[in-house]
Amino acid sequence: MTTLWIGGTSGLTRTYINQFGSDDLVLLGLESSANAIQCDLTEMTKDEPKAIFDEAQQKNNKPVNKIVIGVRPSLLTPTFRDSTPMKMLQGIEMILAHACREENIDFVLHISSVAAADHLRNQVFISEKVADPPLPEYTAPYDVFKRASEEVISKVCQQNSVRYTHLRISGIFSDNDKCLQCNVFRLQALLTPFVPTPIDHNSSLNVSRAIRSLLSVNHSSEMLQTMYYYTRPLALAEPVPYGYYVHEYKRAQNMQLLVWGPLIALTWARILLHLIANAFPFVPYIEALDYMFQVSYYEHSFDCSRFAKDFPNMLNEEESIYDCFTRRRKLMEISSS
């Protein structure tokens, strides 16, 4: 059978395809290729969802029976509060509603984010049993989009008795030169404070393996939950400081001189940027940069034990953070040669 991957032009998708191939995938995004359908979610028409599934069957000679939704609006944008993300969600809802009503879909996997639980507050070893904050308390458009996406997907699937899972992930280190987290680390590796606050991160390869496990499981099984946190390698049973990830990046880059700047400098930079963003929100990119700085101020650690219990094979299949950065460094060296 065939899996339709909505938002299938991300670095995570490329890691998944490099690891598992694309024979059973049809990608839906802004680019067109042999196994990809070009589509702008913000301009979805009422007849387009059926055409998408017809084309997907033609490309793979098999009907679509699973859907992966991996849509993530860009974080670094000149206008942080435009309507594009919610237009994207309307397009997702139209495709999903058609799929659940008219196509033989047996499972929907939503690659969500811990932002759905509100990034602009402390998240201290949160598990799936902890209720999310009330949506009206959210202040960041990105967080609102991720939470609203979960609610729309849950509603449509429940109305049509289709099994679904939200996989909440954190920052991931992807295998391309545009990876935001890796580029930030590249700058921080030169001179940065050791940040003691736990902020979970993971590798795109680990998340790809998690996606594969979720797509391969028996979807009629009562074991499968509607939400999982998988925010760091399961080998890290307890959360680790943000500085740990920067240290592993330096090790993998063979940087012998480990220089740590004063933490107070980072604190004052965050406060100053926040004041500027509040005073001049019309300046391009200022609100987006302020959001990312504010997110880094809070703890973001999660209890991944539910995922570890239901998918025990993952512990042996994972790569460590150091291995992730080492593998990625070698890939970047090959691509640049």
**Average per-residue pLDDT in the chain?**
92
pLDDT of residue 178: 83
- H or E stretch including 58? helix 48-60
pLDDT of residue 80: 87
pLDDT category at 97 given cuts 50, 70, 90 is very high
User: Can you tell me the distance from the alpha carbon of 186 to that of 319, in angstroms, rounded to the nearest whole number?
Assistant: 20
CA distance 332 to 40: 30
For residue 257, pLDDT beyond 70: no
Q: Are 225 and 165 in contact (CB under 8 A)?
A: yes
Measure the CA–CA gap between 167 and 109, rounded to whole angstroms.
Answer: 7
Question: Quick check: 282 pLDDT over 80?
Answer: yes
pLDDT digits (tens, 9 = 90+) for 304-321: 999 999 999 999 999 999
| Helix locations, 80-167, DSSP H | 84-102, 141-159
* CATH label, 2-175+202-237+303-319, candidates 3.40.50.1370, 3.40.50.720, 3.40.640.10, 3.30.1600.10: 3.40.50.720
Distance (Å, rounded) from C-alpha 270 to C-alpha 327?
32
List the Cα angle 91/93/99 in 5-degree steps.
105
| Residue type, position 137, single letter | E
Task: Out of 29-38, 63-72, 260-269, 273-282, pick the least confident.
Answer: 29-38
Beta bridge partners of residue 175, listed in sequence order: none
Q: What does the pLDDT look like over 321-337, one tens digit per residue?
A: 999 999 999 998 888 77
Q: What's the rounded mean pLDDT across residues 134-141?
A: 95
Compute the distance between CA of residue 303 and CA of residue 22 in angstroms, rounded to an integer: 32
Q: 86: burial class by Cβ within 10 Å (0-12, 13-18, 19+)?
A: middle
**pLDDT > 70 in the chain, percent:** 97
Q: What is the pLDDT of residue 177?
A: 83
Spatial separation of the C-alpha atoms in residues 276 and 162, rounded to whole Å = 47
pLDDT of residue 32: 67
What pLDDT sits at residue 108? 98
Structural contact between residues 116 and 147, judged by C-beta atoms closer than 8 angstroms: yes
Q: What is the dihedral sign for C-alpha 206, 208, 210, 212? A: negative
- The token pair at 62 is 């098999």
Asked if 228 contacts 167 with a C-beta cutoff of 8 angstroms, the reply is yes
Kindly indicate the confidence band of residue 259, based on its pLDDT and cuts at 50, 70 and 90: low
Angle at 264 between CA 263 and CA 269, to 5 degrees: 105
**pLDDT average, residue stretch 296-305:** 96
| CB-count burial class (<10 Å; 0-12, 13-18, 19+) for 10 | buried
Nearest Cα residue to 116 out of 106, 126, 108, 107: 126
Residue 307 DSSP SS3: helix
User: Encoding tokens for residue 159?
Assistant: 């109305």
* pLDDT for 44 beyond 60: yes
- Write the pLDDT tens digit of every residue in 11-23: 899 999 999 999 9
* Rounded average pLDDT over 250-270: 81
Does pTM surpass 0.85?
Answer: yes
Length of the chain: 337
pLDDT of residue 96: 98
Helix (H, G, I), strand (E, B) or coil at 296: helix
pLDDT in tens, 240-251: 999 999 999 999
Give the whole-number percent of the chain exceeding pLDDT 90. Answer: 74
pLDDT computed for residue 61 by the predictor: 86
pLDDT, one tens digit per residue, over 181-206 is 888 888 887 777 889 999 999 999 99
The amino acid at residue 336 is: S
| Domain extent listing, the chain | 2-175+202-237+303-319
DSSP code of residue 132? P
Q: How far apart are CA 119 and CA 199, in angstroms?
A: 11
- Cβ within 8 Å of residue 238, ≥6 positions away: none
